[in-house]
Amino acid sequence: MGIVTENKVLTQEEIQTLKTIQEETQAIIMELGEIELITIQLEERKTGAKQFLQEITQKEKDFTQSIFEKYGKCSINPQTGEITPVS
């Protein structure tokens, strides 16, 4: 004759605690996933902004060069367009 063993079962409170832990784990996994997605989107925006800055910087450089070629070294009032020669 074999030994009869009794199956052990968690209490309702322990089962509920386990379920809560599992739900909280899933929630944090989703939260971390969303954070990572937002991080990627921000990195893409930052890259785009850097490229735009480079374009603006190049436009400014080209414009300044063309103005100096046309008027010589000068200072320009951006509101009035007045040119003041610089020696």
Q: What tokens were used for 45?
A: 């925006």
Residue 30, in any domain of the structure? yes
Which residue has better confidence, 40 or 85? 40
With a threshold of 0.75, does the pTM exceed it? no
Q: Is residue 31 part of a domain?
A: yes
| pLDDT band per the 50, 70, 90 thresholds, residue 1 | low
Structural domain includes residue 4: no
pLDDT in tens, 34-69: 999 999 999 999 999 999 999 999 999 999 999 999
Range of the domain at 19: 12-85
Integer Cα distance of 68 and 61 in angstroms: 11
- pLDDT in the model for residue 66: 95
| Token couple for 86 | 């610089």
* Confidence band of 87 (pLDDT split at 50, 70, 90): confident
The amino acid at residue 65 is: Q
> Has residue 1 been placed in a domain?
no
Over 70: is that where the pLDDT of 18 sits?
yes
Please tell me whether residue 83 adopts helix, strand or coil conformation. Answer: strand
Number of compact structural domains in the chain: 1
Domain membership of residue 79 (yes or no) is: yes
- Identify whether 3 is part of a domain: no
